[in-house]
Amino acid sequence: MQRRHYEPEHEAFGEAFRAFVDKEMVPHYLEWERAGIMPREVFAEAGRSGFLGVSIPEEYGGGGVSDFRFNQILAEQIASAGVTGAGLGITLHNDTCQPYFTSFCTDEQKQRWLPGIASGELITAIAMTEPGAGSDLAGIRTTAKRDGDSYIVNGSKTFITNGINADLVVAAVRTDQGSADDRRGGISLIIIERGMDGFERGRNLDKLGLHSQDTAELVFTDVRVPVENLLGAEGAGFAQLTQKLPQERMSIAVNAVAEARGAFDETLRYVQDRKAFGKTIASFQNTKYELAEIVTEIDVAQAFVDQCIDRLNEGELSVSDAAKAKWWCTELQGRVIDKCLQLHGGYGYMTEYAISRRYADARVTRIYGGTTEIMKGVVSKSLGL
Ligand SMILES: Cc1cc2nc3c(=O)[nH]c(=O)nc-3n(C[C@H](O)[C@H](O)[C@H](O)COP(=O)(O)OP(=O)(O)OC[C@H]3O[C@@H](n4cnc5c(N)ncnc54)[C@H](O)[C@@H]3O)c2cc1C
């Protein structure tokens, strides 16, 4: 279905970014997949070319535009080019981390951090999950105890995207223990910076997919963090996360539909080329019906996602609509890519074919950013259940 979602300036931005991806990312992608990380310089190059910090005000070196369609078209180009593992670092930096800085920084903090975030010199990560607390965010145990003009931070985080590359980590910490009635109370957000004493990176974790993405454990041992690094008010962390998680979930939903479409496009080409029983795979009725179903599912999901992005831009996207988009689109991604791999036969299982990487990369989207089960919990809550 012809989309009417983008204006010419979005399309032009997307084309310019695609040229960047084809030149700076595609040729090196398999090397990064083997290395388990994308070099930091790629962020700086993306920043120089204007692809980071679209929503950061111009006075701090950003694009000064508050329109998530620019983020969306970047994610779509990453998926279409088949470099999602590496591209996730960029989308996390742009879509998920930046809003915490643009919304909650004081003027002094903005001056300190926003120019580097826009230029890609400062790479960002967000650290909520701990070994003992993932879905249950209120269960986090990392503490930040006030000591004079500092907080002393102790604890550990796990599964942190950009964990190795990050310079600024938005960390969810406990500034007080909360209470049995209010487990969410006492959570605060604090920026932990590269080079602070006691801040160690653990392993770059071995994963099923997303191999070029550095996902790491972070360990904090008596890290002295100046109070000037507190983001927003003490104890406001849970509310800040609740406010920003819908955009993170839309970022994941956008990527999921774009990955499904990327897989569909590749499969459509493949089945018209590959032959069995003297005919193309495309000529079998099963193939036609499978591809007809897939393209229908993608177009329907795209319509909902685009509408959610319009609502997000208007400041009216509800937590439950973002949750619907997240679980539905990521489940769809899994279904579609599985079917597309099947249509590739044995070649689909070979890592040299992009579809096999898409298959492995897809599995986590139903888990991170809130699992499908947690998303359904959010939706059912909106029904008063
Ligand atoms: C590659 C990768 C990157 C990640 N990046 C980041 C990051 O950058 N920052 C960050 O903070 N975190 C990150 N995460 C963590 C991710 O958000 C969590 O893994 C996720 O929220 C699930 O938490 P968990 O792993 O502790 O699973 P658990 O919470 O232990 O859940 C296990 C199972 O129980 C189910 N379950 C739990 N509670 C309920 C319930 N109430 N009702 C029904 N079912 C339930 C879950 O749905 C799941 O199926 C990342 C994870 C991965 C794998």
- State mean pLDDT over 28-33: 97
Question: pLDDT tens digit string along 157-198?
Answer: 999 999 999 999 999 999 998 777 888 899 999 999 999 999
Which active-site residues does the annotation give? 248
pLDDT of residue 179: 79
pLDDT at residue 177 in the model:
85
pLDDT grade, residue 385 (50/70/90)? very high
Q: Which atom of ligand 1 is nearest to the CA of 162?
A: 8
Cα 366 to ligand 1 centre (Å): 9
Gap from CA of 163 to ligand 1 centroid (Å): 16
pLDDT of residue 178: 76
Q: Is 170 in the pocket of ligand 1 (CB under 6 A)?
A: no
Averaged over 314-337, what is the pLDDT? 98
Measuring from atom 40 of ligand 1, which residue has the nearest CA? 374
Q: Which of 96, 368, 385 to mutate to test the pocket of ligand 1 (most atoms within 8 A of CB)?
A: 368
User: Sign of the CA dihedral 364, 369, 375, 377?
Assistant: positive
User: pLDDT tens across 216-271, in order?
Assistant: 999 999 999 999 999 999 999 999 999 999 999 999 999 999 999 999 999 999 99
296 alpha carbon to ligand 1 midpoint, in Å?
30
Question: What is the bridge-based pairing of β-strands 143-147 and 150-161?
Answer: antiparallel
Q: β-pairing, 215-226 with 199-204?
A: antiparallel
Q: How far is CA 253 from the centre of its chain?
A: 9
Query: Does residue 159's CB lie within 6 angstroms of at least one atom of ligand 1?
Result: yes
Computed over every residue of the chain, the mean pLDDT equals 97
pLDDT of 37 strictly over 90: yes
Cβ atoms of 13 and 77 closer than 8 Å: no
Nearest to 259 by CA among 68, 85, 22, 18: 85
Q: Is the CB of residue 160 below 6 angstroms from any atom belonging to ligand 1? A: yes
pLDDT at 328 over 80: yes
Residue 5 confidence (pLDDT): 98
* Distance from residue 140's CA to the centre of ligand 1 (Å): 13
What confidence tens digit (pLDDT) does each residue in 56-72 have? 999 999 999 999 999 99
Ligand 1 pocket, residue 134 CB under 6 Å: yes
Q: What pLDDT is recorded for position 204? A: 96
Summarize pLDDT for 276-323 with one digit per residue, the tens: 999 999 999 999 999 999 999 999 999 999 999 999 999 999 999 999
Total residues found in the chain within this entry: 385
C-alpha of residue 168 to centroid of ligand 1, in Å: 22
User: Looking up tokens 């997240």, which residue turns up?
Assistant: 326
**CB of 135 shorter than 6 A to ligand 1:** yes
Provide the whole-model pTM.
0.98
**8-state DSSP, 352:** T
Residue 20 has pLDDT above 80, yes or no: yes
Is the separation of the CB atoms in 136 and 371 below 8 Å?
no
Decide: 138 in ligand 1 pocket, CB within 6 A: no
Nearest CA to ligand 1 atom 25: 134
Cβ neighbours of residue 21 closer than 8 Å, sequence gap 6 or more:
77, 78, 81, 83, 87
